Amino acid sequence: MARTTLADMAKLLNVSKVTISKALRNHPDVSSELKTRINDLAIELGYTPNYIARNLYSRRTRTIGVVVPDVSNSFFSYAVHGIIDSADKAGYQIIVTISREEEAMERKNLNTLISMRVDGILISISQNTHNYDVFTAVKKAETPLVFFDRTLPDLGFTSVSVNDYQSAFRAVNYAIQKGYRKIAHLAGTLNTSIGRERCNGYQKALLENNLTVTDEWVIENGFTIEDGKNGFEKLWKQDNKPELIFTVNGHVASGAYAMAQKMGLKIPGDIAFIGFGFREYTDMFNPPMTIISENPDLLGRTAFATLLHEIESKTNEGPKQIVLPLELELRSSC
């Protein structure tokens, strides 16, 4: 048996589809006596409105598409959590897609979301994306889009990010004040905004303190736990070993931690750590890590609120760059 439609109910009750539709939406046009009969029938038949049909007419879906590189990275899980939670409060549904850090997958996801006619898109860019043509397609489709965390400047979209450069500078500067001199950096990927900015802040802090930047101590190889392990190994193979490692995110830090401890090194005695991270994750480390404290949940909420504003405001205010400030939180890894 096919699913109940307005037409089915109209026939059963000998009224028109319009009346059914109005009654179900509690439109004042319909008498309350009729409304009751219609609602009762709807429940009896298990009628559910077909949003597809409704959306086709209204040309709105109340649905937001999200593109993230990797949800096994808990930073993005928490960000998606923030997005879903605030979307729900605003009456929006979320479609989550994952690029797996692949340019082609990212493009495919974006095109699918546009074809699904989502009302807007939230994206954190893949580390391997170099071709930005798909974003001109997004522009043509007139789908509002907001970058979050990993942004793409100069494309004319709004972005929500954190003060990567300053926070990196501050953290490394703090470490230098504490007496550390030999400071390495597990840098993620410099093809991303966060990778670049955090690395720049790190270098700036060294230079301002009259320390030289040692190229072999800047390891660029991704954002995963595995990358942290490999990165630490590379670093520790060198004759000239650092005293402290500045890590680009919590996952890289946890990989480096694990590898250091596997090698029998003491933290912070043999090797100290400081870097970007967030409490739900890095507080579990042993010892807990001194972090530039990110708040992925808040980032997700802010990104959604910003996108919602773009969707619902008629006036085109032009792209905005929203930057969330971050604080240093001291623990015992450094």
Provide the token pair at 88.
């729900």
Selected range binding DNA among 46-54, 168-176, 207-215, 286-294, rule: CB under 7 A? 46-54
Q: Per rule CB under 7 A, is residue 54 in the interface with DNA?
A: yes
CB distance 9 to 20 below 8 Å: yes
CB distance 180 to 272 below 8 Å: yes
CB distance 334 to 272 below 8 Å: yes
For its own copies, the closer CB: 135 or 180: 135
Q: Per rule CB under 8 A, is residue 318 in the interface with its own copies?
A: no
Alpha-carbon torsion angle 50, 51, 56, 60, nearest 10: 170
Q: Per rule CB under 8 A, is residue 254 in the interface with its own copies?
A: yes
Q: How far apart are CA 26 and CA 64, in angstroms?
A: 27
Q: Which of 96, 265, 324, 328 binds its own copies (CB under 8 A)?
A: 96
Q: Which of 26, 53, 208, 263 binds DNA (CB under 7 A)?
A: 53
Q: Which of 6, 67, 80, 186 binds its own copies (CB under 8 A)?
A: 80
Provide the token pair at 40.
């009762």
Q: Per rule CB under 7 A, is residue 24 in the interface with DNA?
A: yes
For DNA, the closer CB: 21 or 261: 21
Going through the chain in order, the beta strands assigned E by DSSP cover: 63-68, 93-98, 120-123, 145-148, 158-162, 183-186, 218-219, 244-247, 272-277, 290-293, 321-324, 327-329
Selected range binding DNA among 17-25, 80-88, 263-271, 305-313, rule: CB under 7 A? 17-25
For its own copies, the closer CB: 94 or 272: 94
Q: Residue numbers of the site for DNA (CB under 7 A)?
A: 2-3, 5-7, 14-19, 21-22, 24-25, 28-32, 34, 47, 49-50, 52-54, 56-59
